[in-house]
């Protein structure tokens, strides 16, 4: 399984998106990354997409790259994580 980074370009120096929601779901040994970009200034500015990543780390890097591309502030990022068996990822 391979993954390519999201291909995004901002149209102006100022980002047209102010909020990022991402959901990372474990699926068949890989991870599905679903994202939604939105704007509190212009609600009609909304974009969404989905990518497949081979690891949780890659999925996280995709979300981080998208947030950096559009200069979205940390407090305006919401991430939901869905694992098939959450106890397997728990360290004791």
pLDDT digits 0-9 by tens, 62-89: 999 999 999 999 999 999 999 877 666 5
Q: Is residue 57 part of a domain?
A: yes
H or E segment to which residue 62 belongs: helix 56-69
Q: Is residue 13 part of a domain?
A: no
Q: State yes or no: pLDDT of 91 exceeds 70.
A: no
Q: What is the pTM of this model?
A: 0.74
Question: Residue 74 is part of a domain; what is its CATH number?
Answer: 3.30.160
Q: Is residue 62 part of a domain?
A: yes
Q: Tokens 């200069």 label which residue? A: 71
Mean pLDDT of the chain: 84
Q: What integer pLDDT is reported at residue 30 of this predicted model?
A: 93
| 58 vs 38: CA distance, rounded Å | 23
Residue numbers of the domain that contains 43: 19-83
Better pLDDT: 89 or 37: 37
Phi/psi-derived region of residue 28, left when phi > 0, alpha when psi is between -120 and 50, beta in every other case: left
Count of structural domains, the chain: 1
């Amino acid at each position: 399984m391979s993954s390519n980074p999201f291909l995004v370009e901002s149209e102006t120096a100022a980002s047209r998106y102010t909020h990022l929601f991402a959901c990372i779901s474990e699926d068949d040994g890989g991870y599905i990354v679903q994202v939604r970009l939105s704007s509190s200034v212009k609600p009609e500015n909304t974009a969404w997409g989905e990518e497949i990543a081979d690891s949780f780390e890659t999925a996280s890097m995709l979300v981080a790259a998208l947030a950096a591309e559009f200069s979205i502030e940390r407090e305006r990022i919401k991430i939901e994580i869905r694992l098939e068996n959450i106890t397997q990822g728990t360290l004791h």
